[in-house]
Structure 1
Amino acid sequence: MHIILFLLMLSVLVFVHELGHFLLAKWNGIRVDSFAIGFPPTLWQKKVGETTYKINLLLFGGYVSIFGENPDDASLSGPDSNRSMVTKSWWRQITVLIAGIIFNMLFAWFLLVLTLWIGAPMSARDSVLPIRDPHMTILSVLPDSPAENAGLHMGDKIESIEFFSNNYTEGATRNIVINHPSDTDATITAIRNSDRIMMNVTSPHAVKSHDVEIIPTTGILDTGTGKAIGITLDVVGTARASFFQGITHGFMQTVYMTGGMAKGLWGLITGSLSVKYITGPVGLVGIVGAASSVGLVSVLMLMAMISINLAIINIIPFPALDGGRILFVIIEKIKGSRIPPAISNTVNMIGFGILMLLMLLVTVKDVVHLF
C-alpha cells in the first residue's frame, strides 16, 4: 500500500513538472512529439494531434519529447525546423526549460495552502495563527537511533517521559526530568492514532538523574553527556487558516521550506552534511508510510516537500538537468553561436548516466539499511 501511494505521489509530481514544459513549449509554438508518465515499457498511449500521450510501467519519472531539445539535422534545418526548440530565441528556450521548476514550486504552494485550509500541524513557536491542541510531537526519528529501535515514529505525541507529564501550556518552559537509576531504560508514553503506547528507550550512555532539555533541533538531549536518543521534537498543534490567510501563509511556508532544503543541498555539496542523510525511492516509501499513518495533511505536506526538492535539484546547472540545459542556452547567447550538437548531446547523455548511477547507489544504500 505504501509503495502504491509513493508511486501515485511521484507520478503526480512528475506530471506537474512535465506539464510545465509541455504547456510552455506549446505556448512558444514548439512541436511536442510525446508526453509520458513513467519510463517504458508502455502500458497505454493515444495520439492527439501531433502529440502522443503515454502511461508507462516504470513510474519513477516521466518525460516530454520536445522537438529540438536534443538538436539534430532535422531540428536545425529540416522542413519543420521553424517549430524546433533549438531555433527559437534564447529567452523562449529558457521559459520552456524553467517551466517545470516553476510548476513544481507553484504546486507545492498550492498543497501547503490546502493543508492550512484543512488544518495543518504547525509549531507553536513559529505560528502566527491560533494553535489548537498543542502537544510535544516527534518531527523525525534518526535511522538506527535508540528512539527508532524503541519503536517511536514521526508524528507520535509525547505524553510523558518517566513520571513527568508533558502538559504543554503557552509560554511554559520545555524541560523535563528523567528520574531513574543508571543503566536502565527511560519509559516514554506517546499517543499514536488516538492510542496510548509505552516504550522503553535506552540512551547512548547511562542516563543519570538530571535535567533533559527538549530542543527542536536536537530532540531529547542528555545534558550530562551531550548525547541524544535520536528524535527531533517540537510543540505542534493544529493551525487552520482563512482563505486569504492560507494563501499568504502557504507562500511563506513554501519560501521557508525552499530555503531549508537549499541549505541542506549546499551542505551535501560542501561536505558539511553527511551523505547518509540522502534518501532514494526505497527510503521514501518508508517516509510516505510514516506520513500516511499520521493523516492526509501529513501526506500533502510531504508531497509539497518532495515537489520543492524536485524543483531545487532540477535548477542545479548539471548536464541533463533543466539547470544544465539552461546553462548551455546562456553560454550560446554569450558566445553568439551554438554549441555543436554532438558535444551538447554527449555531455547531457553522460550527465544522465551519472545521475542514474547516483540513484542506483542511493537505492542500494536504502536497501542495505532495511536489513
Structure 2
Amino acid sequence: MAAELFSNVYIGLVVVAFFGVTIFIHELGHYLVARWCGLTVKVFAIGFGPALWKKEVNGIQYKIGCIPFGGYVALPQLDPTAMQTVQGGGEASAAGDEEKDDGEKEAVLEPVAPWKKILVSLAGATGNVLLAIILAWIVYWVGMPATMVNQDTVLGYVEKGTALYEQGVRIGDRITRVNGAPVDQWSHFIQEAAMYDEVTLDVVQQDGAVVKVKSPTETWRYGIRTILGIEPRAPVTVGKVDARLSAAAAGVQSGDVILSFGGQEVLSQAHLIEQVAANRDQAVDMKVMRRINGKDTELALNVTPVYDPEAAMTRIGIRFMAPVQAMDSNARVHPLPMTQIKHQASGILRFLRDLVTPKKSARAANMVGGPVAIITSYVDMIRASFMLAVWFTGFLNINLAIINLLPLPVLDGGHIVFSLWEWVFRRPLHARIINLLVNAFAFLLIGLFLVLSFRDVDRHTPVGGWVRGLFGTNTTELVVAPEAVGVPAAAPEGTGEGAPTE
C-alpha cells in the first residue's frame, strides 16, 4: 500500500513538473522577447484561476494559478482590449489613460511596431521547439526502451481468413504506404487507415517483393476505423505467471521477454497465442530474454501448452504485460534528434490536414484527445520508463508549438494575423472586431476543452463504463498511450491487467 502510494505521488509530481516546464518555456519565450523589444509586461503567469502564489517585482506581477493547464504573459501593448481580458490581464491601456482604483491615471503606453508584435507572438512556439530539440538530444544520448510499435510497420500478426491474409500478406511483412501516403511508424499507419472505408497498402514481403493489397476498414474503439485482424510487431513481455501451468514449472518469470517458441521468432502476443494453440499437449522449446545482474541473458526453457477450462483456451500460463510497459529489453534505441522532431511534427500535421479535409474531418475529430488523455498517456509512460516520458514531453512541445501558430484568435497565430493586418494596411484592426473574434473563439475553445475532457473521462477511465453500466451499455475499454496502441486481432483475450492471457 505504501509503495503504491509513493508510486502514485511520484507519477503525479513528474506529470506536473513536465507540464509546468512546457508551459513555463512557452511563456518565457513571450516574456523575454517582449522585454527585448521594449514592451511593457504586466503579468507573467503559469496556470489560470486564483493564485496559489504571486509576487510583484519592478511593476511585473509573477504568479502561479491553481489550474495548471496553461499560462499567459499580459502585454497591454500587444492586445489592450481582447486577448488579455480572456487571459486575465489587460491592466493597462495602449490607447489612452485609464483610471485606477485610487483615482490615479494609468500611464499611456506607446504603440508597438507590428514586426515586434509578430516576434513576441512567435517566441512562445520557438521556445517549445527549442525545448523539444533539447529533449530529443537527451533521448538520443541516454536512449529509451521503446516498443517496436514506435520503430516500424512490420506486421506481428495477420489473422487467417482476413482480406490481407487471402492476398498473401504474412507475419513479418512491412507496410510502407496507405493509399499512396508513406508510413514508417505504426501510429502513422493507424492515423492514415482511420480516414478511409477501404485502403490500398504497399507491402514489402519478407523476400523483398513489393505487393499492393486492398482491405476494408472496420469500426474499432470509439468509432475509429482500422484494419481488424492484424497487429504490429511488438515485444511479448510476461506480466504474471499462473502457478498452475507449465510456464511456472519451467521457471518463467515476470518481466521475461519471449523471443521464440518452437524455434519460430515470436513477433506479437497474438502470434504467440496462435503458436501455443497449435502445440497443445506437446513439449515445446521456448527462449526468453531475462535481465540478470544488469545484463540481458538469453535462457532456453521448455513448456507444454494444455487446455485451461477456466480460460476456455490452450495456455502455458502467463499474462502479458500491457503494451506500453512491454519494453524491448534487447535493444535500447537512440533515435536521431531530427528524426524524433520529424516524426513528432508529421503526426500533428497529418492530423491537421485530415481535420480540414471534408471527407476526413469527422473521423479526424474522433481521434482527438484532451487533457485527460494526455495525463493518461503520461501516467502509462512514466510507469514504463522515465525516458519515454521525456520523449513524450518533446512530442507535446512540438504539438503545442504548431497548434499555437494556427491563425485563430486567442492563439498566438491570431496575434500574428492581426499584426500582419496592421502592417499591410498601416492601421490596426478595429478593437471591437478583435474583441468579437476573440470572445467567440474563446467560447469555442472553452467548449472544446470541456467536450474533450468529458469524452476523455468516458474513454480513458472507468467512470464512463460505470455510468453506462447503470443502463446496461458498458462498452468502455481502457487504452494505453497513443503511440503504443496496436490494432486488435481476433485472438482470445483474458481480463488480467488490461492484457491478454496465454
TM-score (norm 2): 0.52
Shift of 1:256: 3.0
Does the 8 A contact of 2:145 with 2:333 survive in 1? yes
Worse-superposed segment, 2-11 or 37-46: 2-11
Does the 8 A contact of 2:136 with 2:340 survive in 1? yes
Does the 8 A contact of 2:37 with 2:116 survive in 1? yes
Shift of 1:121: 4.0
Shift of 1:13: 0.7
Correspondence for 1:269:
356
- Work out the CA distance in 2 between the residues paired with 1:21 and 1:6: 23
Does the 8 A contact of 1:98 with 1:322 survive in 2? yes
SS of the residue corresponding to residue 347 of structure 1 reads helix
> What amino acid maps onto 2:350 in structure 1?
K
Shift of 1:11: 1.6
**Pair 1:337-2:424 in alignment:** no
Correspondence for 1:103:
127
- Work out the CA distance in 2 between the residues paired with 1:65 and 1:288: 30
Correspondence for 1:237:
331
Q: Which 5+ residue runs of structure 2 have no aligned equivalent? A: 1-8, 82-91, 98-106, 152-184, 191-219, 224-231, 239-246, 248-256, 281-286, 293-312, 314-322, 464-502
Does the 8 A contact of 1:22 with 1:35 survive in 2? yes
**Pair 1:157-2:242 in alignment:** no
Structure with greater strand share of residues: 1
- Work out the CA distance in 2 between the residues paired with 1:191 and 1:44: 50
Shift of 1:58: 1.1
Q: Which 5+ residue runs of structure 1 have no aligned equivalent? A: 128-137, 146-153, 195-206, 208-229, 242-248
SS of the residue corresponding to residue 44 of structure 1 reads strand
TM-score (norm 1): 0.69
Match of 1:256 among 330, 340, 343: 343
Does the 8 A contact of 1:139 with 1:155 survive in 2? no
Correspondence for 1:354:
444
Match of 1:6 among 15, 26, 51: 15
> What amino acid maps onto 1:94 in structure 2?
I
Correspondence for 2:373:
283
SS of the residue corresponding to residue 332 of structure 2 reads strand
Match of 1:65 among 74, 86, 92: 74
Shift of 1:342: 1.6
**Pair 1:80-2:108 in alignment:** yes
SS of the residue corresponding to residue 408 of structure 2 reads coil
- What CA RMSD, in Å, does the superposition of the two structures yield over aligned residues? 4.2
Change (3 A) 1:34 1:261: same
Whose Rg is larger?
2
Does the 8 A contact of 1:120 with 1:238 survive in 2? yes
Shift of 1:239: 3.4
- Work out the CA distance in 1 between the residues paired with 2:383 and 2:73: 34
Match of 1:44 among 24, 37, 53: 53
- Work out the CA distance in 2 between the residues paired with 1:345 and 1:126: 44
**Pair 1:166-2:185 in alignment:** no
Correspondence for 1:119:
143
- Work out the CA distance in 1 between the residues paired with 2:288 and 2:73: 47
Shift of 1:7: 2.7
Does the 8 A contact of 2:149 with 2:234 survive in 1? no
Change (3 A) 1:360 1:193: farther
Does the 8 A contact of 1:39 with 1:62 survive in 2? yes
Number of equivalences: 299
Correspondence for 1:221:
none
Change (3 A) 1:364 1:123: closer
Deviation string 1:16-39 (CA, Å, 9 cap, x unpaired) is 100000000000000100101111
Shift of 1:356: 0.9
- Work out the CA distance in 2 between the residues paired with 1:191 and 1:364: 42
Correspondence for 1:135:
none
